[in-house]
């Protein structure tokens, strides 16, 4: 039950494809989804094999037209499950991350510093912990590289209290516009070559690979009976490309971003 709203912009002047999903859904957890959660350490006691749940969240993926403007994704969500004895388990999850086609250190530092400031309001330990989690989560194992230059990511957060975690998640969500929009404004009118556009298409191919093979949210959506497939796959770019055995030249701008994707950097110290 429940539902949501999906808003998608395609073929815009600045954004080739950009979407925002807001959803509030409830029902019974599929066995496969419950298995996934148990594999993360959740002890879920079903009643007659049934686990009622409710989930709500806001997510966005923005794929800009210009290769010098990075792709950005954020998602913040709340999940609640009612067990056989009537007790409820709840947790928050989410994050914000940046996927540039070309590395711009000034942009990377601005993005990470803004997220760090949002985390630091609540606990100085959160940013380093969730930055590492982000680098580990957005890892394309079969390529040996990250999807982008990271940001923050967390899941299953259920302490110290519901209100305190909610305030933290709100701070993270409020940081999305200031961490990203200045970067868009700085580069949306940059000139670019056909070769740079081609590299953007190849990097988008990697984005698709991560989302379809590894992303937990995509998997959960596809396993949820009656889910809206168009909304789940909103995160995919309008265009992408896969070339056989493509390797950028050494010491090129393309090789520079690959180095950072293979060996994540500390951007704020």
Active site residue 73: yes
- Token pair, residue 226, equals 């009656």
Give the start-end residues of each E strand in the chain: 2-10, 15-28, 52-64, 71-82, 88-99, 139-140, 145-146, 150-157
- Token pair, residue 125, equals 């330990």
> Please, what's the b/e burial string for 3-32 (b: 16 or more CB within 10 A of its CB; e: otherwise)?
eeeeeeeeeeebbbbbbbbebebebebbee
Catalytic residue among 63, 73, 110, 112: 73
Helix (H, G, I), strand (E, B) or coil at 14: coil
Active site residues: 73
């Amino acid at each position: 039950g429940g539902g949501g709203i999906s808003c998608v912009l395609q073929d815009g002047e600045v954004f080739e494809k950009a979407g925002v999903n807001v959803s509030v859904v409830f029902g019974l957890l599929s066995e496969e989804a419950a298995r996934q959660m148990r594999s993360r350490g959740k002890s879920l006691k079903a009643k007659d094999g049934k686990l009622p749940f409710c989930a709500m969240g806001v997510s966005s993926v923005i794929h800009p037209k210009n290769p010098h403007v990075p792709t950005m994704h954020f998602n913040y969500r709340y999940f609640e499950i009612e067990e056989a004895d009537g007790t409820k388990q709840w947790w928050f999850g989410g994050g914000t991350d940046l996927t540039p086609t070309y590395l711009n250190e000034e942009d990377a530092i601005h993005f990470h510093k803004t997220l760090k400031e949002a985390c630091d309001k609540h606990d100085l330990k959160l940013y380093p912990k969730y930055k590492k989690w982000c680098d580990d989560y957005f890892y394309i194992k079969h390529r040996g590289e990250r999807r982008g230059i990271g940001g923050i990511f967390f899941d299953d957060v259920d302490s110290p209290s519901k209100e305190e975690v909610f305030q933290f998640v709100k701070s993270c969500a409020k940081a999305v516009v200031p961490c990203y929009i200045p970067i868009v404004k700085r580069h949306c009118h940059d000139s670019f070559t056909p070769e740079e556009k081609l590299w953007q298409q190849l990097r988008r191919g990697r984005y698709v690979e991560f989302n379809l093979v590894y992303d937990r949210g995509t998997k959960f959506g596809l396993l949820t009976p009656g889910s809206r497939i168009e909304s789940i796959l909103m995160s995919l770019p309008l265009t992408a490309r896969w070339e056989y055995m493509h390797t950028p030249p050494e010491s090129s701008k393309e090789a520079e971003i690959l180095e950072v994707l293979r060996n994540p950097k500390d951007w704020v110290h």
